[in-house]
Amino acid sequence: MPAYNAALTLERTYADIPHDLVDHVILVDDVSRDQTVGIAQRMGLHVIVHQQNKGYGGNQKTCYDAALAEGADIVVMLHPDYQYDATRIPALIEPIALGRVDLMLGSRFLGDPLAGGMPRWKYVSNRFLTGMENLVFGQRLSEYHTGFRAYSRRLLETVPYHRNSDDFVFDQELIAQAIAAGFEIGEIAVPTRYFAEASSVGLRRSIVYGLSTLRVCARYALHRIRVRTSPKLTPRAGGKVDGPG
Ligand SMILES: Nc1nc2c(ncn2[C@@H]2O[C@H](COP(=O)(O)OP(=O)(O)OP(=O)(O)O)[C@@H](O)[C@H]2O)c(=O)[nH]1
Ligand SMILES: [Mg+2]
């Protein structure tokens, strides 16, 4: 769980995690200004505290490093803001456990995001960016912008996620890396939940995020047609050697 000011929602989020299936829960705190760390420690989570605010992507880098160091076979990324339904973790990870795909996305767009309270402007921009990404990446996914994902160990060992942005676009860069490395992606439907504590990203940051996402698409396209090879999209040396299935 990449956490930033999650004190009001952390306990609820954690309570929904199926603990018979999930062996280990890591929370990385990105210098929250509230009681996130204290609450997480009291709950007995594996807590890592950043000394400096690194941003959402920087937070995930620490999360995945720690998860791999703990020996995780499958890593689930879950926002601690109770926006995503953690009871869906078994369905989310099943295709990875069965070896069918290496990346799973919990998609709000397979349901009714507007009914779940997604603001209309976010709905429209999500739709637009998802359409562009499908076109460029050659996929048919219903959304790329979810904060509920699962990765196989071999995916995280293969893609050079440390090279990614420390900001929100990290999520899009990781998907581009997965596709460039030839990994299969699957999705399941998850309910949309919007409420005050679950959403802090306003118009300005969303515009930056949208433009950065388009840049990820452009970089991917140039890489694919070999006009400009991108180190970000080149699998790590010493990573997976046998090629994705
Ligand atoms: N590290 C870090 N994390 C942040 C920051 N701002 C938000 N986050 C985290 O990023 C995640 C997404 O931010 P949210 O505010 O939930 O975004 P949202 O408004 O729900 O986004 P949408 O689902 O697109 O509406 C949450 O888990 C936050 O805790 C930040 O400045 N630094
Ligand atoms: Mg949120």
Question: Tens digits of per-residue pLDDT, 32-54?
Answer: 999 999 999 999 999 999 999 99
Q: What single letter denotes the amino acid at residue 191?
A: P
What's the CA angle centered on 102, arms 122 and 230, to 5 degrees?
A: 75
Contacts of 97 (CB under 8 A, 6+ apart): 74
pLDDT of residue 19: 96
Banded model confidence at residue 237, pLDDT cuts 50, 70, 90: confident
Q: How many CB atoms neighbour CB 157 within 10 A?
A: 16
Distance of alpha carbon 239 from alpha carbon 189, whole angstroms: 31
Banded model confidence at residue 158, pLDDT cuts 50, 70, 90: very high
- The pLDDT of 205-223, averaged and rounded, is 97
Q: What single letter denotes the amino acid at residue 128?
A: F
What's the CA angle centered on 36, arms 34 and 42, to 5 degrees?
A: 130
pLDDT of residue 241: 41
Say if residue 129's pLDDT is above 60. yes
Say if residue 211's pLDDT is above 60. yes
pLDDT of residue 81: 97
Banded model confidence at residue 244, pLDDT cuts 50, 70, 90: very low
Say if residue 59's pLDDT is above 80. yes
Please give the torsion angle defined by the CA atoms of residues 135, 141, 142 and 147, in that order, rounded to the nearest 10 degrees.
Answer: -110
What ranges make up the beta strands (E) of 50-134? 74-78, 103-107
pLDDT of residue 134: 98
Ligand 1, residue 4: give the atom nearest the CA: 29
Ligand 1, residue 5: give the atom nearest the CA: 29
Segment 91-99 long-range contacts (CB within 8 Å, at least 24 positions apart): 91/188, 92/148, 92/149, 92/150, 92/188, 92/190, 93/21, 93/150, 95/186, 96/150, 96/151, 96/152, 99/245
Residue 216's DSSP bridge partners are: none
Say if residue 238's pLDDT is above 70. no
Question: Which among 62, 76, 200 is the best mutation to test ligand 1's pocket, defined by most ligand atoms within 8 Å of the CB?
Answer: 200
Q: Over the chain, what is the mean pLDDT?
A: 95
Q: What single letter denotes the amino acid at residue 61?
A: K
Does ligand 1 come within 6 angstroms of the Cβ of 200? yes
- On whether the pTM is more than 0.85, the answer is yes
Q: Which of 224, 211, 142 lies closest to 176 in space, CA to CA?
A: 224
User: Residue 147 Cα, ligand 2 centroid: separation in angstroms?
Assistant: 7
Contacts of 99 (CB under 8 A, 6+ apart): 245
- Tracing tokens 């293969």 back to the chain, one arrives at 158
User: Residue 168 Cα, ligand 2 centroid: separation in angstroms?
Assistant: 12
Which of 85-94, 225-234, 236-245 has the weakest average pLDDT?
236-245
- The pLDDT of 213-242, averaged and rounded, is 88
pLDDT of residue 6: 98
- The pLDDT of 75-84, averaged and rounded, is 98
